[in-house]
Amino acid sequence: MLKETVLAKLEQSGVPIPTKPKKPTTELFDVLADLSDVPDSMLGDIHAKFAAWYCYANYLLLRANLDKMGNESNYTAHFNQALLNVDPDSVKNVTERKAIAATKTKSVNDKLQEAVASCLALETVVENLEIAMKTISREISRRQFVYSAAHNLSM
């Protein structure tokens, strides 16, 4: 329910939803190895492509986090119900009762773990794209500084 609410508000806000960029990222990351070989005219284009992937990855991360939150709620509800269904007189202690409930909710927990793994993977992608954008941005700034120094321009 939360996922649908958030996505509906996002659509109502008029904010454009990022779409998947057409250029594969593998070629883009190869450029980062040595930015000094990249002509000035291409550097801004490369930065824009990374920014497009960054926005798209952040959108995917938003959706993944919403899925994870839904799976967390679902797991909690199933686990608590399974815990209530375990007869307290049939177990020795609370730990054993929780173990039985966990066994009964394994498939729901597996879905939760998949959602968590997806979020972690996307967080890594977003962080790498952000680092790449900052690297390119620093190179653009460095070139602007060198140009202005060579031409005695104040920044």
State the pLDDT at residue 23: 66
| DSSP string of 33-92, one letter each residue | T-GGGS-HHHHHHHHHHHHHHHHHHHHHHHHHHHHHHHHHHHHHHHHHHHHHHS-GGGSS
Angle between helices 40-85 and 2-13 (to 10 degrees): 150
pLDDT in tens, 71-111: 999 999 999 999 999 988 888 898 999 999 999 999 999 99
141: in domain: yes
State the pLDDT at residue 26: 67
User: CA angle, corner 126, sides to 109 and 7, nearest 5?
Assistant: 65
**Structural domain total, the chain:** 1
12: in domain: no
Q: Look up residue 47 and give its amino acid.
A: H
56: in domain: yes
50: in domain: yes
18: in domain: no
pLDDT in tens, 117-144: 999 999 999 999 999 999 999 999 999 9
115: in domain: yes
Determine the structural domain holding residue 104 and report its residue range: 39-150
CB 116 within 8 A of CB 135: no
123: in domain: yes
27: in domain: no
